[in-house]
Structure 1
Amino acid sequence: MVLSFPIPLRYWLHTNKRLFSKIHSIIIKEMHRYYINKARQTGIKTPRPGSISFTQRAGSAVNLNPHLHVLLLDGVFTEINGVVRFRNIDAITDDEVAWLCENIAKKVMKHLTKEGYLDKDGEVVQNPMMDDLFLENEAITAASYASIAGMIAFGKNAGKYVTRIGSGFGYFEEIPLAKGKLCYSVNGFSLHCNTSTNTHARDRLFKC
């Protein structure tokens, strides 16, 4: 699964390690909860999902774009007669991707509202909470913001857009929008789940 964030959140995540850690925890918990719920629906009583996550900080244009790549087992572990077994579950569907993307967006936005990054209507609030590196170095802060927003940071063209950028967090009542097969977006969050690796494809697992 690949999860990208709304543009304002990309900046906050890049400049605040504590916030990134908390948001990362919320996302992984929701992904695991999807597998736990689906396994329990098939009668598995003690499901244990597994995942490895990676943070990628650059987009395809080498712009600053922190996002997550999460490699998940398409099933769960469970204990049967004292022995740990792996149980496959059905592949994720489009409806489930939409549900998961919406849940992640809601949980993350709820946390951001609690921490004062968003107001009750989902609007961005000016928030100075950043790591010392960014508080003490205006040039690094300016360069980071410009790269995320697709703008020129310095020189005579400073402040001008390099490319058109997307919206922020949108509105709380938004519904997931299909962007492609097993790919949905809502409130600026985009979740892509259409890449998988077969159990016996050791070369692809190694590359992952």
Structure 2
Amino acid sequence: MPSRPREVRCPGYRRRDPTQSLLYELLREHLETFLAELDAHPGLALPRFVKRELRGFLECGVLAHGFARVHCTSCARDSLVAFSCKGRGFCPSCGGRRMSATAAHLVDHVLPETPIRQWVFTLPFSLRLRCAFDHELLAFVRRIFTRVVFSYLARQARAKALPSGALGFRSGAVNIVQRAGGSLNLNPHFHAVFIDGVYTRATLLGPARFHELPAPEPADVDWTLARIHSRLRSLFERCIDTEQEFESRETNELLLHLASASVHGQAATGDGNGRALPGLFTPEPDPRPERDSPKPSCSLVLLRIGRRATRFNK
């Protein structure tokens, strides 16, 4: 007697409903009025890419703005999947999906089975506003940061007397720009994952051999940061000297004003315009007098991830 086919149970597709979120209701009620008021004042209109992101969010995941019909051959069910806006700067759903897809791609197809260490590099305040608008400058700073860390890894390999082989010491990294700080303030900085070691080849076409390096000491971090600072010193001075020229070239006064206030953690509108905003975890003020110690202009934070990056599914 032939056996009955085994029933396959599918978990099913649960469609999200963005119209029930508070953010969606807020933009649906006030976005067009807000944009119309800004357009009525010369110099205060938002850029087109900002309007496109905000209006695209109101159409993301809503069936009335387009959908695809998907059929499951296992459970013979049809589902409607609404089109997404695929935004990069505002939509939480599209941003989270892009983040998860990028992390899965890096873990499955890019990062090798080696120790990984995260390096976080922050910029001085004098460069943050400029880097937020100048993509070439931001790419230049990122390139310097990456090359200096590579030179540090090669320096550590030479200190261990490792053979450099035919091609010298090679390593790898993935460097991603993070544009917001912990308070959602404008703070362009870099999150990079570096292979915690170097590769060498005995011959040009020979197999690559991995050499794990010891964890960086505080002196190593200081050396790396000082080298980055020395390479960017002339760039810092040039950006400070041309800050007024940069502001005059920026045509959108509202966007520049909001970005500048966000960088410095200040209120941008209202009676408290220009005042410092208190942070959620701001410590109590120290009653002792302040010391005349120089404040760091940039910083590095290191974190050992392990044998491989961990994959998170959203």
* TM-score greater than 0.5 by the shorter chain: yes
Cα deviations across residues 147-205 of structure 1 (Å, max 9, x unaligned)?
0001111223211211489xxxxxxxx7xxxxxxxxxxx74111111x11221x55x2x
| Aligned counterpart, 2:273 | 158
* Partner SS state of residue 142, structure 1: helix
- What value does the CA root-mean-square deviation take over the aligned residues? 2.3
| Aligned counterpart, 2:298 | 189
Q: Which amino acid aligns with 1:112?
A: F
Please list every run of 5 or more consecutive structure 1 residues that lacks an aligned counterpart in the other structure.
119-123, 166-173, 175-185
Q: Following the alignment from structure 1 to structure 2, what is the Cα–Cα distance between the partners of residues 30 and 129?
A: 28
Q: Residue 103 in 1 paired to residue 235 in 2?
A: no
Q: Which amino acid aligns with 2:136?
A: R
Conserved 8 A contact 2:126-2:236: no
Conserved 8 A contact 1:15-1:130: no
Higher share in strand: 1
| Aligned counterpart, 1:142 | 257
2:207 is aligned, of 80, 83, 87, to 83
Conserved 8 A contact 1:117-1:127: no
Judged with a 3 Å threshold, the aligned counterparts in structure 2 of structure 1 residues 49 and 95 are, in CA distance, closer, same or farther, namely same
**Number of residues of Structure 1 aligned to a counterpart in Structure 2:** 175
Q: Residue 28 in 1 paired to residue 146 in 2?
A: yes
Judged with a 3 Å threshold, the aligned counterparts in structure 2 of structure 1 residues 131 and 43 are, in CA distance, closer, same or farther, namely farther
Q: Following the alignment from structure 2 to structure 1, what is the Cα–Cα distance between the partners of residues 202 and 244?
A: 50
Judged with a 3 Å threshold, the aligned counterparts in structure 2 of structure 1 residues 69 and 93 are, in CA distance, closer, same or farther, namely same
Q: Residue 43 in 1 paired to residue 153 in 2?
A: no
User: Which 4+ residue blocks in structure 1 deviate beyond 4 angstroms?
Assistant: none
> Taking structure 1 as the reference length, what is the TM-score of the superposition?
0.76
| Aligned counterpart, 1:64 | 186
Structure with greater Cα Rg: 2
Structure 1 residue 130: Cα displacement: 6.9
| Aligned counterpart, 1:169 | none
Conserved 8 A contact 2:173-2:195: yes
Structure 1 residue 18: Cα displacement: 1.2
Q: Following the alignment from structure 1 to structure 2, what is the Cα–Cα distance between the partners of residues 92 and 65?
A: 26
- The structure whose RCO (Cα within 8 Å, separation 6+) is larger is 1
> Taking structure 2 as the reference length, what is the TM-score of the superposition?
0.51
Q: Following the alignment from structure 2 to structure 1, what is the Cα–Cα distance between the partners of residues 185 and 304?
A: 26
